[in-house]
Structure 1
Amino acid sequence: MYSRAHLLIEREFKILSQDSPWGIEAWPMYDDTIFEWMARIKGLQGTPWEGGIFKVYIKFDEHYNVRPPQVLFQTIPFHPNVEVSTGRPCIDFLDDYSLWQENYSMSMLLLSLQTLLSYPVLKNAVNPEAASMLQTSPVSYRQMTQECVAASQRVDAGGSPQIRQADSHAVRFDQEEALARSARPTRTAGANTRVSKLSFDDYHTTWCGIATSKTRPDAINPFLETIRGNPKLQEIHLGVPREELEDQMKKQMEEHSILMYGKFKSQPSVESVRDAKIANLERMKKIYFPPRQSPLPPREDIDIGKSLPALQANESNWEKEVDDLVNWTNNLDSNAIDAT
């Protein structure tokens, strides 16, 4: 005997299978339960989200349809009304159960998500960075949406959100839950549907790791925290070796500075300044200080012993002249000098 919620969910699935809106399809994920769905929503034509294929995880409980199911974007878009860390869309009747009505169908809910992508509400945005970019730089926001669209197409085709395919070293979170879910029998939506054996939690955490914004400045990225101490996984995530990435970033910053502020001579280092000062001092020494000459050595042909008597004789004559000068001064007549 099935519960009331089970019967209502089966009826909703039957209605969607027979008459689904454009760009929307949904199906139960497992054969052993109907309370977990996977939906695929395409972006509306003529909008920036055209071509996008976004998967949505839907989980019902026994209270359906008294209250709405839990809805999370598995392919998380960069959108003002979608939380980048959880993928939860900001829709009034999903946030406030009192606004939900029992006559709301799953078709109406999925159509609301499809419309929300193309017509964001900037008031009370759960992704403030996306809202600010949409207001201040619509061109940048459109570029971000195009990147999200391209990433969603790669994911829907069974590839990686990144352009470069990661190797076999995949990051796994919650291994037990992943094994349990992958062991369940799956139900396909059609002959061409590709079913990946990747749990929602694994994919959701990986998608959060490559997201471009945070719900708050101090939010912790679980993916980056997991690969922080593993250089191999960091290289897989970044797509290039870390050293090459740092060199590219440095080169881009230099090119940006040249374009913005012009090319200036780089500031010389302390060692180069010191060497230049020493070289200047050496040149000044050569200019202003003549080279020091060593005293001449004594000549070998001069006999010091023989020259001493001549020096002594000169000294005697000098003393005699001094004595004569003193005697002459004493013999002078002072009266004669005064008369003259």
Structure 2
Amino acid sequence: MLPETMTVIEARGSGGPEVLVPATRPVPKPAPDEVLIVVEAAGINRPDVLQRQGLYPPPKGASDLLGLEVAGSVVAAGDNVTRFKEGDFVCALVNGGGYAEFAVAPESTTLLAPDGLDAVQAAALPETVFTVWHNVVERGGLQQGDWLLVHGGASGIGTTAIQLATALGAKVIVTVGSAEKAKACEALGAVRAINYAHEDFVEAVREVTGGHGADVILDMVGGDYIERNLKAAALEGRIVQIAFLKGSKVELDLMRLMMRRLTLTGSTLRAQTPEAKACMAEAIEARVWPLIAAGKVKPVIDSTFKLTDAADAHRRLDDPAHIGKIVLTTA
């Protein structure tokens, strides 16, 4: 028998971590194409911070609660659900509602958790893996032997990109802000970690690649990095923008893009159609899940916090010293 109410984390207004407070709400009921998951763990991601700050409102029809990825057991299923049954241990990409004891998730973006992973590890996967797969492989067209440059190499996105690209036969360079982060990234397989506090990443990339440049660049920094990415890219390079920590409005000389036949693209995950996300989920289950089961890709966990301590978890995410993912737990 399911309880009628659950503990959730609400954002009482917009602002810093202190706006995140525990509250009580009814347990949601799954729609015909959804499953209801008892949340054992929920991953924290940068879009959660933007939503907390009032800069990234949830899509129409989505929960107003933060949280884009969860892991736990299926406890109920909608009438049209065929892939999952009660008791299945899953992780899921959701459009919101993850910071809660129960969450509904579309069947199409719910996956059986990879073998050997616990709830914390499984909850750290969906948002990050979907983002890396879609932007690096699908949009960026990463191929075996390519050079991949990842800005923010020690983030959840970065640590995932290092491992996935390496497992696919690419060579990875990252930018980081400390010696500790550089060491962590190189331990995960990065060929070179560039400390942007002391080195010009454009020059370093040229040196490491023997003048070739980066075939694919994954950027979450923006600002002045955008024009520098054009300089660091290889001929026919693909630059994929997924965030703008330093701002999205820049002035560019696009002559370099034309002369070197570069592609500058980008995407957000949450706003994509259910059909697009379903296609990503199918590809990830076929291509990435076996790599995780084989131990070639694994989530890097910085720290865990109780659900009711979500404000402290966000303070940790705001701390640039963190490496990997921060996860909430309900146990």
- Shorter-chain TM range is under 0.3
**Greater relative CO, 1 or 2 (CA 8 Å, sep 6+):** 2
Name the structure where strand makes up a greater proportion of residues: 2
* Higher Rg of the two aligned structures: 1
- Of Structure 1 and Structure 2, the greater helix share is in 1
Give the TM-score taking structure 1 as reference length: 0.22
- TM-score scaled by length of structure 2: 0.23
